[in-house]
Amino acid sequence: MEEVLSQALALRVHSLPKEVQRTLQDLGIRSDCRSLLKKWAEDGRILLGNEVELASRHDLHQATLQLTREHPELVRKHVHFASWGALRLDNRVRLQVYLDDPIQQIYGLGEFWASSFWVPPWDADFFFSRRLENQALMLPALRPALWSQGVWEERFDLVFDALEPEVRDEIVLEQALARGRLEVAEAFLNAGLKRKGYDLPLLFSRGKAAKAYERALKLISRRKEGQPAVPPLYGRAHRQGDEG
């Protein structure tokens, strides 16, 4: 029952309790799950309010791997036929990544949608086993979480050719800044990247605090609603470039 309940919670990231019960039935379990959900909430395994979700990304990842391995057709049924309100776009895309199916729709995805599902933990074997176009969709959306964990894989270079050129430029510059390669970052900073605020961390790294402060105020004043004022540079700003 516990293993199947984890799989039911993995199908929908945010589920109503009644939806969990219906999914359990789809998985062949008729027992009422309310008492087990209450126990898991007390143990900290799930977050239980109006909606239910697994508290651990590791548990979510493992449960989704098992679910898509054992019940791929059930997952595809939900991906293709569940109402948009019942299965959020980011969760639809997440499930298609696990199935390693082509992603059908990405319009409306948040820029860093994947960071709420993966990292930590970083499962490199899973990532690099996905089809190349899915890796190229995930990598830009994962990068704030990856850089904050100090994760860089040489194999990411194999994904670069599948990225949009502007995204590729951003990642190259982010890595130069994160590794403390300021000359490389400065030479690579073009007008488009400057407009996005990539000059701000460079000013800070150069010790130009007053100019950085003025620049930050300007970026904040013109940011669009719901968008960050500066790029999500969570890399280790003073890490030197002797790795990879």
Q: What is the mean pLDDT of the chain?
A: 86
> What does the pLDDT average to over 106-123?
88
Sign of CA dihedral 106, 126, 82, 60: negative
Q: Contact 119/207 with Cβ under 8 angstroms?
A: no
Q: What is the DSSP letter of 44?
A: T
Contact yes or no for 162/187 (Cβ under 8 A): no
CB count within 10 Å of CB 119 equals 21
Question: Which pTM value belongs to this model?
Answer: 0.82
pLDDT tens-digit readout, 61-108: 999 999 999 999 999 998 988 766 667 889 999 999 999 999 988 888
Which range (39-48, 110-119, 146-155, 219-228) has the least confidence? 219-228
Whether residue 199 has pLDDT greater than 50: yes
User: DSSP letter string over 117-176?
Assistant: TS-SS--HHHHHHS-HHHHHHHHHHHHHHHHHTT---GGGGGTGGGS-HHHHHHHHHHHH
pLDDT at 132: 96
- Could you give the CA distance from residue 168 to residue 157 in angstroms, rounded to a whole number? 10
The per-residue pLDDT for range 202-244, each reduced to its tens digit, is 888 888 989 988 988 888 888 776 566 666 654 343 333 334 3
pLDDT on residue 239: 38
Torsion of CA 231, 235, 236, 239, to 10 degrees: -110
Predicted confidence at residue 5, as pLDDT, reads 93
Interatomic CA distance for residues 201 and 212, integer angstroms: 8
pLDDT of residue 235: 39
What's the pLDDT at 98?
A: 97
**Which position has the higher pLDDT, 110 or 39?**
39
| pLDDT at residue 84, rounded to an integer | 63
